[in-house]
Amino acid sequence: MAELDEARLDLTLKAVDDGLDGSLDRLFSFLRIASISTDPAHQAACRSAAEWVAGALEDLGFTAVVHPTAGHPVVVARTDTGAPRRVLFYGHYDVQPVDPLDLWETPPFEPRLGETPDGRRTIVARGACDDKGQVLTFLEALRAYRATLGRLPVDVTVLLEGEEECGSPNLPGFLAAHAGELAADVALVCDTGMWDPRTPSITTSLRGILHTELTIEGADRDLHSGLFGGAARNPIHVLAQILGEAHDASGRVTLPGFYDDVLELPEEVRTRWAGLGLTAEAFLKPVGLSVSSGESDRMVIEQIQSRPTLEVNGIFGGYTGAGTKTIIPARATAKISFRLVADQDPAKLRAGFEAFVAERVPADCRAVFHWGEGARAFLVPPESPNLTRAAAALEREWGVAPVTIGSGGSIPVVGQFKDRLGVDTLLIGFALDDDRVHSPNEKYDLTSFHKGTRSWVRILDVLA
């Protein structure tokens, strides 16, 4: 039986190899759709992308429905063969804006094959990596199974949204309304990356997120700085002082209780991460930096994956146009985000930050907060059988054991899958650090696309 299973698997993998040109043709067709979700001018393109992917799934034998929402559609497709296990695959068909357009070497929605300076072949287009190329690795694995066996080793539900790049405002409500339809044994997300071009990885933890816009208000109008300077409160000064006090000299966040609920890494994980040899210089050099500003007593890999942060994402107030306008502004604003780790509670941190700010707002000023919806951090239990099986499948494909790491980013849908559907998620992606995600000349390595597809064939096999 084992020999028969191995022969079946080899046949499906060969179908991936033989069908690579056709897979690329389909990916290029998908990439030509300018599905920029943040721009209302591209609403029709987002609808076209949803219909394109629904049609592709119907061609694979799925029952696919394009569900309207208050924003862009959600696509849900299912097989119902009575297989003993079901997986839920999540991805998104929307992409980031292309600005600045003049930095693209070729038009962003005219996909092409390229090559990196070190000779790696690439797919270049907006969405090539994030997330259309990654989505197609999974769909093309399903296609190979259909071509060779006429069936899939598990039942599959595919959930694709069109608003991931603008915060998924309509997804939580959709999940609540369709929880029964989306039930599964395990969820799969292909929107993460590899450790390096030869080493796969499984993301076993995600930081949560909490964000706010803090405005300090002062006088009831902008004031002449010659007449009022020295007497009137300047909201920019107040805001800058508050933000400056949010970190100490060692890089720690100074909010009282900020670290109370932070879980420490297991010693085995810390030792494994230390063995990866990631230095601050190596991590920061590609972006023109060299010295970490994070907690000085932590490895840089901890700083970016397993420790919480408070970052100022933008700050503005007063006159910012050309030339001079001598005023004391009436208000100043900062956009602030927190990255959370287990077991931090977004509601508790929100209250703590408001109290921190309130203690520092002087007379004649007031603080106004506009909060976004927070998301808790996510952690895959290290003893998860699905994690063990997927790791073994990846090792067989790549010839090296995958690195199990955390991610400094946040994918709120993973927490929603756990909270609303009661299902754990495996985060397995094939992006690389140099894929220029969200930047001009976004690319996806051809090897990532090809071996990513082969990897999903192996993973679906072991999950069955």
Same domain, yes or no: 163 and 214: no
Residue 432 to residue 121: CA distance in whole angstroms: 13
pLDDT band at 4 (very low <50, low <70, confident <90, very high): low
* pLDDT greater than 50 at residue 372: yes
Mention every residue, 6+ apart, whose C-beta is less than 8 A from residue 397.
200, 451, 454, 455, 458
Q: Phi, psi (5° rounding) for residue 277?
A: 70, 30
Same domain, yes or no: 214 and 253: yes
Q: Which of 326, 348, 371 is the last residue of a domain?
A: 371
Would residue 174 count as lying in a domain? yes
**Residue carrying structure tokens 């097989």:** 79
Same domain, yes or no: 322 and 213: yes
* pLDDT greater than 60 at residue 1: no
pLDDT of residue 407: 80
Same domain, yes or no: 249 and 156: no
pLDDT of residue 3: 52
Same domain, yes or no: 430 and 350: no
Would residue 42 count as lying in a domain? yes
Same domain, yes or no: 330 and 439: no
* pLDDT greater than 90 at residue 383: no
pLDDT band at 380 (very low <50, low <70, confident <90, very high): confident
Domain assignment of residue 158, given as a range? 2-206+378-463
Same domain, yes or no: 102 and 113: yes
Q: Which of 324, 350, 371 is the last residue of a domain?
A: 371
pLDDT of residue 280: 94
pLDDT band at 259 (very low <50, low <70, confident <90, very high): very high
Same domain, yes or no: 351 and 385: no
In the predicted model, what is the mean pLDDT of the chain? 95
Q: What share of the chain is helix, strand, coil (3-state, %, to 5)?
A: 35, 20, 40
pLDDT of residue 272: 87
**Residue carrying structure tokens 């339809």:** 181
Would residue 299 count as lying in a domain? no
pLDDT of residue 5: 83
Q: Which of 324, 343, 371 is the last residue of a domain?
A: 371
Burial class from Cβ neighbours inside 10 Å (0-12, 13-18, 19+) for residue 250 reads: exposed
Q: What is the CATH number of the domain that holds 312?
A: 3.30.70.360
* pLDDT greater than 70 at residue 2: no
- pLDDT tens digit sequence for 392-439: 999 999 999 999 888 877 777 888 898 899 999 999 999 999 999 999
Same domain, yes or no: 425 and 327: no
Would residue 301 count as lying in a domain? no
- pLDDT tens digit sequence for 69-80: 999 999 999 999
Would residue 274 count as lying in a domain? no
DSSP result, 395-406: HHHHSSPPEEEE
Q: What is the CATH number of the domain that holds 428?
A: 3.40.630.10
Q: Please give the tally of structural domains in the chain.
A: 2
Would residue 292 count as lying in a domain? no
Q: How many CA atoms lie within 13 A of 48 on its CB side?
A: 12
Would residue 449 count as lying in a domain? yes
Cα-based angle 444, 413, 191 (whole degrees, multiple of 5): 10
* CA distances to 188, 194, 385 from 202, in Å: 11, 8, 14
Average pLDDT of 457-463? 97
- pLDDT tens digit sequence for 165-196: 998 999 999 999 999 999 999 999 999 999 99
Same domain, yes or no: 118 and 258: no
Does the pTM of the predicted model rise above 0.85? Answer: no
Q: Are 114 and 443 in contact (CB under 8 A)?
A: yes
Start-to-end C-alpha separation, the chain: 15
pLDDT band at 130 (very low <50, low <70, confident <90, very high): very high
Query: In the chain, what percentage of residues exceed pLDDT 90?
Result: 87
